[in-house]
Amino acid sequence: MPELPDITVYVEALERRILGQVLEAIRLQNMFVLRTYAPPLDGLAGRRVTAVCRIGKRIAFGFENDNWLVIHLMIAGRLQWTPSPDSNRGGAGAKPKAANALAHFTFPNGTLTLTEAGSKRRASLHVVADDTGLAAHGRGGLDVSSATTGDFAAALTRENHTLKRALTDPRLFDGIGNAYSDEILHAAKLSPVTLTSKLSPAEIARLHSAAQSTLAAWTARLRAEAGDKFPAKVTAFRPEMAVHGKFGQPCPACGTKVQRIRYAENEVNYCPRCQTGGKLLADRSLSRLLKSDWPRTIDDLEENSRPSDAG
């Protein structure tokens, strides 16, 4: 799922293209993507875009009639921009070639297309009447980029959860998901399963600093990568990441193989030497199967992986 750095770069690219432009036409390819009926979606046609903003992991367009269009990309949703053949003369916009398009939004200078890979159709569009309706799409999480350490500590310790769950809870923190929470915890050298109530003030300060620096660094990296072009490679798995999606690969800090805990459709990636003091966190599905054969430390893991001297 695109998270704060990805959504920020999307918003910046959209501001340069559609802010002040009139939405000329809307073409839905899949009716199920639209989750509201009042105000009507077609009421946005012919209206000028007056604002583009991020609200959590959502992207919102404000219009001159005070309505907002809220786009939630979920896991597999993405945006594509196809410039008009002749932006100087306006026109109906170029026809995008995306096979998995859910909706097209035509502007004088190009067409914005919402796509979604797969067949689960989780991406969504909502039209709301005003700022109050827009606020209802926010989950109330703290923006760590501008928060003080005190505010961060208050949000983190409001409920007693594991660090992984706390960082990805949109009611506590804004825009952080599975990928960047892994990267933040690695940068902070903290275990993803440590309970928030167990952290010292120094550890909270370290986590806050890691969250701010990680999100800022990745936003700058993605911004530089896109340049003046529309973001084309929006993914949760990037070769420059330290641990997310790097199971079995060496940690860039210490060289230990990155481990993971898998649950539902997600997984936690971590370095056992940098983050858990050498302890391997139990993967429920595997540890239940292996029972006493499940390695408890990285030393056990390395010992089990060595070739036998017998024979």
Domain boundary among 78, 111, 135: 135
Residue 55 lies in a domain: yes
CATH number for the domain that contains residue 130:
3.20.190.10
Q: Tell me, yes or no, whether 170 and 124 share the same domain.
A: no
Between the CA atoms of 209, 215, 219 and 225, what dihedral angle is there, to the nearest 10 degrees?
100
Residues 202, 104 share a domain:
no
Res 91 pLDDT > 70: no
pLDDT greater at residue 295 or residue 125: 125
Pairing of strands 49-55, 58-63: antiparallel
- In the chain, pLDDT over 70 holds for what percent of residues? 86
Question: At 98, is the pLDDT very low, low, confident or very high (cuts 50, 70, 90)?
Answer: confident
Distances (CA, A) of 191 to 69, 272, 274, 297: 39, 8, 9, 14
- Per-residue pLDDT, 267: 86
**Residue 104 parent element (H or E):** strand 101-107
Which two tokens mark 14?
Answer: 């959209």
Location of structure tokens 């060496």: 250
Q: Examine residue 68 and state whether it is found in any structural domain, yes or no.
A: yes
Q: Give the strands of the sheet with 58-63, arranged side by side.
A: 49-55, 58-63, 68-72, 124-128
Distance CA 176, CA 307 (A): 41
Same domain as 108, residue 37: yes
Q: Tell me the β-bridge partners of 255.
A: none
pLDDT band at 294 (very low <50, low <70, confident <90, very high): very low
Do 109 and 14 share a structural domain?
A: yes
N- to C-terminal Cα separation, the chain:
49
- Report pLDDT for 308: 41
Q: Find the Cα–Cα–Cα–Cα dihedral 32, 38, 45, 35, rounded to 10°.
A: -20
Q: Are residues 45 and 122 in the same domain?
A: yes
Within-domain flag for 104: yes
Q: Is the pLDDT of residue 282 over 70?
A: yes
**What is the extent of the structural domain holding 178?**
149-226
Question: Does 155 share its domain with 129?
Answer: no
Q: Pick the residue with more confidence: 251 or 301?
A: 251
The count of residues in the chain is: 311
> Is 70 exceeded by the pLDDT of residue 79?
yes
13/95: higher pLDDT? 13
Decide which of 135, 158, 188 is a domain's last residue.
135
pLDDT for 227 equals 96
DSSP 86: T
Q: Are residues 105 and 161 in the same domain?
A: no
What is the per-residue pLDDT across 147-189, written as a single tens digit (0 to 9) for each? 999 999 999 999 999 999 999 999 999 999 999 999 999 999 9
Question: Mean pLDDT, to the nearest integer, of 50-67?
Answer: 97
Domain count, the chain: 2
Per-residue pLDDT reduced to its tens digit, 211-247: 999 999 999 999 999 999 999 989 999 999 999 999 9
Quick one: 19 and 110 in the same domain?
yes
Q: How far apart are CA 172 and CA 181, in angstroms?
A: 13
Q: pLDDT > 90: what percent of the chain?
A: 80
Do 126 and 211 lie in one domain? The reply is no
Locate 71 and state its tokens. 């786009």
Task: Give the confidence band of 264 by pLDDT, cuts at 50, 70, 90.
Answer: low
User: 297 CB contacts (<8 Å, ≥6 apart)?
Assistant: 272, 278, 279, 280
Average pLDDT in the chain = 89
Q: Identify which of 164, 83, 76 has the alpha carbon closest to the alpha carbon of residue 121.
A: 76
Whole-number pLDDT of residue 250: 98
Q: For residue 298, name the pLDDT band (cuts at 50, 70, 90).
A: low
Mean pLDDT throughout 84-104?
Answer: 69
Give the three-state DSSP class for 106.
Answer: strand
Please give the residue that has the higher pLDDT: either 141 or 266. 141
99 shares a domain with 16? yes
Contact 257, 299 (CB under 8 A): no
Burial of 257 (0-12, 13-18, 19+ CB in 10 A): middle
What is the CATH classification number for the domain harbouring 165?
1.10.8.50
290-294, Cβ contacts within 8 angstroms, sequence gap of 24 or more: none
Which CA distances in Å does 209 have to 49, 119, 171, 194? 36, 39, 20, 18
């909270």: which residue's tokens?
204
Domain boundary among 135, 160, 190: 135
